[in-house]
Structure 1
Amino acid sequence: LQAIVDTAVDAIITVDEEGRVEFWNQGATRLFGYAAEEAVGQPITALIVPERSRESHLQGFRRALQAGTFLKTEGMAEITARHKDGHEFPVQISLAMWQVLGRRRVTGILHDLTRQKQLEAQLLHAQKMEAIGTLAGGIAHDFNNILAVILGFTELAKMHVSANSALERQLREIELAGKRAKDLTKQILTFSRFDQTERQPIVLKSLIKEVVRFLRATVPTTIALHTHLTSEASVQADASQIHQVVMNLCANAEYAMRQTGGTIEIRLEDVAVSAEQAHLHPELHEGPYVRLSVKDTGPGISDEVLPRIFEPFFTTKGPGEGSGLGLSVVHGIVTGHGGAILVHSQPGQGTQFDLYFPVTHPTAHHEIPLASPSYIGGSERILFVDDDPSLVRFARDFLAQLGYQVVGYADPQEALTWFTANARAIDLLVTDQTMPALTGEALALAMRNVRPDLPVIVCTGFSHTMTPEKAKALGIEELLLKPIEAGQFAEAIRRVLDGAKVSRSP
């Protein structure tokens, strides 16, 4: 029986009526750190109960003996236990009272809940981040519509004022502020993982070297910058976003050591995630990864702050020193790439961020040259649909300025009704994606049921459902992300119209 009990994974402990240990198996030794010869004869509360809780546990034990049952604690309960080295951890305990020769004994089976609690905390954190991300994406959609109106009419106004005039300079300031807000919205969308980006196989080592060259020119000389880049593997990634990740992490490290100086160490290495690691961190899977580590020798992060560092707009910096989006953006980028981010930090011992990216095999990638934005016009007929009346007015004014004939609707149902009666009266449909009653996708499909060769451009500030891949699969010629600069908007329209002419030519 002793051998059987000692093979049990859990701790099995028996105490007498005084609460002194009579039996202590090998599982108890593994769990609490005491050998059986150290534990037997000692009060159980002195061995495994935190000092602050010992008196209440002892009183409960005595009441249970008097009542002859453990009532609520008989069965399963969770308590905080104490290891020999002093650290505390959660355990699940099952108690039973029994008698031998008229003397009562209590036997407990104790199971370590540390891993279970860690997994529960990670799940709750992931759900919290997902909920915040969904909220952020929805806000970004509305904000992008507002920015589209501000930037659109600003660019339209600039077309009617003299260059270098006072009014032109004032409009330029409005435009610059709008573009800063556009960048902030892009960060929010990146955090929420709904940003639509171009990814291709890239060798991280080359990219990190480029970032480090830039960092060496910006990090003060009081902070040393060391690199250890050994991985030659490729990952499927957006280069600009990985650049942003490294810059954000190093900017935080620099801020933490700005007054004292220190060291930033960047490592890039190939690692194989084991089944055990994947079990501990559900966002990881067993297999090959590239691990990017950014480590600093700063003051570290306190236990109170650490759980909140990836929350958007949470910051420990002073007013005007940070938006609180840096680490939330990093989190969104890494998880959006199918990776994971782990943090190790203790006050006074610096901080290390470990970023895991799944390895991919490089494939041929063809760069598509981007033409410079310009106000290219035409004389074709365009149907513009958006549930924001201000954007409809901007499109009508701007496109008319470029020579186009424009029909605009803020109600997609009304637009569909008009189109059904005038299907050959337009050359292009430009529609918003997220609209009440009828999405841009649904509107485009309904119109193509009437006229299959209708060219379509879909615009979106944020969408759960519309991606570049889906737009391509639906035959939509262009998917544009709001807020769209006027020159890019004009160029996209011209590109789609010219493409339609080529496809129709014999």
Structure 2
Amino acid sequence: MSEQQYRTLAESSNEMIFMIDCEGVIRYVNNFAAKSYGARPEDLTGKKHDDIFPPDIARRHNVQIAKVFETGKPVYAYDRIERMKNPDRTIWIDAMLVPVTDETGKTVSVLGISRDITDRKKLNDEIIRSSKLESLGTLAGGIAHDFNNVLMGIIGNITMAGKHASGDDKLQILLRRAEKIAYKARSLTEQLITFARGGAPVKKAVLLSELIMETAQFAMTGSNAGCELSLAEDLWPAEVDEGQIVQVFTNILINSRQAMPEGGKVVIRALNVLVEPENAAMAPAGKYVSVSFSDSGCGISPEDISRIFDPFFSKKDDGKGLGLATAYSIIKRHSGTISVESDERGTTFTVLLPASDNLPAPEKTCGGGAPEKISCIEFEGIRILVMDDDESVLFPICDMLAYMGCSVRSAVNGEQACKEYERAFERDVPFDILILDLVVKGGMGGVETLQKIRRIDKDARAVVSSGYSNDPVVANYKDYGFCGALIKPYCQQQVIEILQHVRPVTAKNATESH
């Protein structure tokens, strides 16, 4: 091949190709290489590495080139960072330096071939970071599960202490106070579970106003920026997972805070929106709750705004660039939309969440007050089998059910629960309801236990109990054969309601005949 043919081949290549003589002077560089460094070929040709690169990078180049001239063997450099003096641009490359010899075999120049791996490097770094986040999420979920079990034991024992001290008003006040603190601690586990991410949203009808106010107060604490709320009084309920939506709002507010380091204001507006069929390009037709966050920060450039929800896009070096990507993912799982508008006056994020036709359920509190008549009459004689591998959870649940008049048996794992059920079924005194822990460490959990029990009795009725509030089995318990779900830590009122809903008609009729 002629020199011109070699040059044409080099200029057509998507690799960075350059030639360096024995004096360390760059004699040739192709267009792709120059462009990769943000320069023109004539800006680089005739110069040494010391003229182009910072001292540390130039020194490394010179050592590697000298090694090729000295040994006459190729030198390979993988996963190497490159920076230029001007413009200040950083890329990652894989490089190969090959000796070019004359007719006597003497190395007269070095041919360099490099590949820009910046995008691949970013992708690999993101995969590693995502893997670390996944591991942290798994750890956080496990901690939340164990902590919820501890809280379940605490709250259950507080409840029973209140039942046995119904005549002591001072003690009742102290017990209610302790219970309130325990339920506050539950919010910590909810934050851990939210961090754990993953899993299907556990949705319920929620009025977003209070959620917005609490999140804004938390997210803006310690910031130089202020917050103004404009929330419609007649705001529709939305069908959401509270923990996940709090995460979305928090991530957006943190982004707004970072855009206003010297101070400013975030305006949060919430209103009802009806999307007509002709506007279905914005979102599917229907009723929505719109929540917008408008900051007075520096704005987002047009180049960046198109990638703002991309998990592989981040303007931050501290590993916190996944917040908006996470928000986008959560809103999509809620069948909603999230959009952004920005100019030099600031940025507005708008979230649309499908409105709910259901009314939010009132918050349940479980004081340690006097025993309710409903507990001792309505459930008297109902046979319940409770399976939980944590005795600190198992004992107070069984005590609570027994106090309500139920006939209770317990098991610490799935195998024991199956034997208890089979024994009772053979004696023609089957259990009316099973309460099965979802996860049993080192043993058979709730789902598998119910499957085996259904082989004994296809009509067995079971409630799944778990400290993993975001587990798909809890969110979609019917798909796994359960009749209801109890999320730890739960209180006696929640137990009463689930039993009223789940118990078989025959058991209900039996108790009503007393």
What TM-score does the superposition give when structure 2 sets the normalisation length? Answer: 0.71
> 1:382 is matched by which residue type in structure 2?
I
> 1:395 is matched by which residue type in structure 2?
I
Tell me the equivalent position of 1:367. Answer: 358
Does 2:464 correspond to 1:492? no
- In structure 2, relative to structure 1, the CA distance for the partners of 1:5 and 1:502 (3 Å cut) is farther
Does 2:69 correspond to 1:65? yes
CA displacement, residues 460-489 of structure 1 (integer Å, 9 cap, x when unaligned): 112897524653123210122111122111
- In structure 2, relative to structure 1, the CA distance for the partners of 1:99 and 1:214 (3 Å cut) is closer
Tell me the equivalent position of 2:241. Answer: 238
> 1:493 is matched by which residue type in structure 2?
L
Tell me the equivalent position of 1:25. Answer: 30
Tell me the equivalent position of 2:477. Answer: 471
- In structure 2, relative to structure 1, the CA distance for the partners of 1:82 and 1:173 (3 Å cut) is same
Does 2:318 correspond to 1:307? yes
User: C-alpha separation between the residues in 2 aligned to 1:12 and 1:310?
Assistant: 34
CA displacement, residues 290-336 of structure 1 (integer Å, 9 cap, x when unaligned): 998776759xxxx999434489xxxxxxxxxxxxxxx7xx8866555
2:473–2:480 CA contact under 8 A, matched in 1: no
1:80–1:89 CA contact under 8 A, matched in 2: yes
Q: Which of residues 405, 412, 428 is equivalent to 2:433? A: 428
1:223–1:262 CA contact under 8 A, matched in 2: yes
How far the C-alpha of 1:371 sits from its partner, in A, is: 6.9
How far the C-alpha of 1:251 sits from its partner, in A, is: 6.5
Tell me the equivalent position of 1:15. Answer: 20
How far the C-alpha of 1:262 sits from its partner, in A, is: 2.4
Tell me the equivalent position of 1:459. Answer: 465
Q: Which of residues 120, 134, 139 is equivalent to 1:130? A: 134
CA displacement, residues 39-83 of structure 1 (integer Å, 9 cap, x when unaligned): 221113422x3312423432442343132223xx1x453432223
> 2:389 is matched by which residue type in structure 1?
D
2:432–2:504 CA contact under 8 A, matched in 1: no
How far the C-alpha of 1:89 sits from its partner, in A, is: 2.2
CA displacement, residues 199-236 of structure 1 (integer Å, 9 cap, x when unaligned): 4999xxx96999489959997997355899xxxxxx99
1:387–1:412 CA contact under 8 A, matched in 2: no
Tell me the equivalent position of 1:320. Answer: none
> Which protein has greater RCO, CA pairs closer than 8 Å, 6+ apart?
2
User: C-alpha separation between the residues in 1 aligned to 2:416 and 2:154?
Assistant: 26
Q: Which blocks of at least 5 consecutive residues in structure 2 are unaligned? A: 231-237, 271-281, 285-289, 299-313, 334-343, 367-371
Q: Which blocks of at least 5 consecutive residues in structure 1 are unaligned? A: 229-234, 269-286, 312-326, 340-349
Please, what is the CA RMSD of the aligned residues? 4.6
More deviation, 208-217/408-417:
208-217
Give secondary structure in 2 for the equivalent of 1:191.
Answer: helix
- Equivalent positions of 1:34-45 (< 5 A) are 34-45=39-50
User: C-alpha separation between the residues in 1 aligned to 2:99 and 2:498?
Assistant: 79
- Equivalent positions of 1:246-395 (< 5 A) are 246-247=249-250, 249-250=252-253, 261-264=263-266, 297=297, 306-309=317-320, 335-336=329-330, 366-367=357-358, 370=361, 373=364, 376-377=374-375, 378-379=379-380, 380-395=382-397
CA displacement, residues 360-393 of structure 1 (integer Å, 9 cap, x when unaligned): 9x7x965276477586431112112211223222
> 1:401 is matched by which residue type in structure 2?
Y
Tell me the equivalent position of 1:198. Answer: 202
Tell me the equivalent position of 2:409. Answer: 407
User: C-alpha separation between the residues in 2 aligned to 1:304 and 1:462?
Assistant: 33
> 1:82 is matched by which residue type in structure 2?
R
- In structure 2, relative to structure 1, the CA distance for the partners of 1:413 and 1:383 (3 Å cut) is same
Aligned residue pairs total: 437
User: C-alpha separation between the residues in 2 aligned to 1:8 and 1:460?
Assistant: 59
2:49–2:58 CA contact under 8 A, matched in 1: no
User: C-alpha separation between the residues in 1 aligned to 2:169 and 2:214?
Assistant: 40
Does 2:452 correspond to 1:446? yes
Tell me the equivalent position of 2:54. Answer: 50
User: C-alpha separation between the residues in 2 aligned to 1:123 and 1:488?
Assistant: 42
User: C-alpha separation between the residues in 2 aligned to 1:214 and 1:433?
Assistant: 31
Tell me the equivalent position of 1:317. Answer: none
> 2:169 is matched by which residue type in structure 1?
S
- Equivalent positions of 1:167-206 (< 5 A) are 167-194=171-198, 197-199=201-203
Give secondary structure in 2 for the equivalent of 1:307.
Answer: coil
User: C-alpha separation between the residues in 1 aligned to 2:361 and 2:121?
Assistant: 50
Tell me the equivalent position of 1:161. Answer: 165
